[in-house]
Amino acid sequence: MRLRTISIHAGVDKDAAYNSVITPIYQTSTFRFEDIGKTKGYDYSRTANPTRTALEENICALEGGVLARATATGMSAIATTLHFFKAGSHIICTNDCYGGTERLLRTYSEIFNFKVTYVNMQNLDEVKNALRPNTKALWIETPSNPLLNIVDIRALSEIAHNHTALSIVDNTFLSPVNQRPFELGADIIVHSTTKYLNGHSDVVGGAIVVNSPKLAERLHFLVNTLGQGESPFDSWLVLRGIKTLIPRIKAHEENALAVAKFLKSHPAIRKVNYPGLECHPQHSLALRQQYGFGGMVSFEVNDGIEEVNSILRSVKIFSVAESLGGIESLICHPVTMTHASMNAELREQAGINERVIRLSVGIEDPNDLIEDLDKAFQVYAPVFAGSSIENNK
Ligand SMILES: *Cc1c(COP(=O)(O)O)cnc(C)c1O
């Protein structure tokens, strides 16, 4: 099956009793035994639940892995993945990772004595120099949040494998529609399904996908042992969301490109980060490694926090909110919102300054989104009135 068919059919068919076309919500904690030691494959919902299995089979097929597990949140997927490693392990992490990932790694460094080195993964020498005898994993996130930096998954996976370490990719920003890390050598993929996979901003969830039977066995053990599985209802919502993943991603992407081009031509904006623009420093890597450019755009205003605040207060269609990947457009200020929990020194080092604004571009009419931003820019700097909007209609 091809991706579009997979997204709609994989795992879905679970009702042998009534042949429902849509997967039922098996809202039950436990399952009746048919005889001593004999079940229909399910005994207790922490271990497995048919609605969750449907979602897991679907995500597994989309990523082309061996086994997937759906978890309660993206952070629970990341936390569970860290349990693959023994206390004292060394992990090399990209220095502009998701803020929650950095906070969790910091916490696990305290509790489990993990050693973590943050590097700029665009520089492969920096990664190689950070390797230690006990390096067990490379934690990769591409495109990064919020700067949309792109790193080379294939090259990084090779470095990991030459050191018998695992290559782990947080694939939340692009989804398997636009990036399939197993094709590039990754060993483990994590997702916050809260974002594009569910796509409707009405559930939190996560997923872990592995591509070897050995990792699969451990994954099943960990999710059950730690009790991290997604609830049946939330699993059902995410599975429902995935059925429109491909057309949604296409619509997000079209709008994001239009918004990025508008921002690029606007005098109030000093820098635009979108991998689909030719001026993006890793545009050619994005073309090689990704199947599309996604719906996230970030930019830097000319002035500082006053201008940022004015824009955030003035937008009408964009909602000021954290999170991303839903059908509606969101705007956020990473330094005070999504990345506030991140170590300030690391944040600076990664180039996430107070002028940066991040957009999760939704699937509304792109002209409305552009007009909304243009009007908001004018509130702070009336001199720019109507400067570039005509070019983008
Ligand atoms: C949101 C997000 C997470 C965390 O997911 P939750 O569902 O909020 O727990 C992890 N990684 C990335 C890239 C994210 O955007």
**Atom of ligand 1 minimally distant from the CA of 173:** 13
- 157 near 166, Cβ under 8 Å? no
- Say what the pTM is: 0.95
How far is the centre of ligand 1, averaged over its atoms, from the C-alpha of 20 (Å)? 32
pLDDT tens-place string over residues 11-27: 999 999 999 999 999 99
Q: Which residues are catalytic?
A: 46, 98, 170, 195
Residue with CA closest to ligand 1 atom 15: 172
* Residues ≥6 apart with Cβ < 8 Å to 20: none
Q: Which CATH architecture has domain 246-392?
A: Alpha-Beta Complex (3.90)
**Atom of ligand 1 minimally distant from the CA of 97:** 13
Q: Please state the length of the chain.
A: 393
3-242 adopts what CATH topology?
Aspartate Aminotransferase; domain 2 (3.40.640)
* Residues ≥6 apart with Cβ < 8 Å to 48: 41, 42, 224, 229
Residue with CA closest to ligand 1 atom 4: 74
The Cβ of residue 17 has, within 10 Å, a number of other Cβ atoms equal to 7
Q: Is 96 in the pocket of ligand 1 (CB under 6 A)?
A: no
Q: Is 98 in the pocket of ligand 1 (CB under 6 A)?
A: yes
Phi, psi of 267, deg, nearest 5: -70, -15
How far is the centre of ligand 1, averaged over its atoms, from the C-alpha of 230 (Å)? 15
How far is the centre of ligand 1, averaged over its atoms, from the C-alpha of 170 (Å)? 9
Helix/strand/coil percentages in the chain, nearest 5: 40, 15, 45
Q: Is 192 in the pocket of ligand 1 (CB under 6 A)?
A: yes
Domain boundaries, the chain: 3-242, 246-392
Residue with CA closest to ligand 1 atom 5: 74
Q: Which pLDDT score, from 0 to 100, does residue 384 have?
A: 55
Q: Please give the structure tokens belonging to residue 352.
A: 């996430």
How far is the centre of ligand 1, averaged over its atoms, from the C-alpha of 74 (Å)? 5
* Residues ≥6 apart with Cβ < 8 Å to 356: 146, 147, 298, 299, 300, 333, 334, 335
Q: Give the separation between CA 285 and CA 83, rounded to whole angstroms.
A: 32
Q: Is 194 in the pocket of ligand 1 (CB under 6 A)?
A: yes
Q: Which pLDDT score, from 0 to 100, does residue 349 have?
A: 83
Return the best residue to mutate from 151, 191, 195, 208 for the ligand 1 pocket (most ligand atoms within 8 A of CB).
195
Residue 389, pLDDT > 80, answer: no
pLDDT tens-place string over residues 151-186: 999 999 999 999 999 999 999 999 999 999 999 999
Q: What angle do CA 123, 127, 128 make, to 5 degrees?
A: 115
* Residues ≥6 apart with Cβ < 8 Å to 43: 30, 31, 33
Q: Which pLDDT score, from 0 to 100, does residue 340 have?
A: 87
Q: Give the separation between CA 350 and CA 290, rounded to whole angstroms.
A: 23
How far is the centre of ligand 1, averaged over its atoms, from the C-alpha of 63 (Å)? 18
Q: Which pLDDT score, from 0 to 100, does residue 113 have?
A: 97
Residue with CA closest to ligand 1 atom 1: 192
Q: Give the separation between CA 378 and CA 208, rounded to whole angstroms.
A: 44
pLDDT classification of 392: cutoffs 50, 70, 90: very low
The average confidence (pLDDT) of the chain is: 95
Return the best residue to mutate from 73, 80, 105, 172 for the ligand 1 pocket (most ligand atoms within 8 A of CB).
172
Q: Is 94 in the pocket of ligand 1 (CB under 6 A)?
A: no
Query: Smallest Cα–Cα separation from 206: which of 221, 187, 191?
Result: 191
Residue 251, pLDDT > 60, answer: yes
Residue with CA closest to ligand 1 atom 8: 74
pLDDT tens-place string over residues 66-103: 999 999 999 999 999 999 999 999 999 999 888 899 99
How far is the centre of ligand 1, averaged over its atoms, from the C-alpha of 43 (Å)? 30
Q: Please give the structure tokens belonging to residue 347.
A: 């944040």
Return the best residue to mutate from 192, 228, 337, 342 for the ligand 1 pocket (most ligand atoms within 8 A of CB).
192
Task: Compute CA 340 distance to the chain's CA centroid, rounded to the nearest angstrom.
Answer: 18
How far is the centre of ligand 1, averaged over its atoms, from the C-alpha of 364 (Å)? 23
pLDDT tens-place string over residues 291-317: 999 999 999 999 889 999 999 999 999
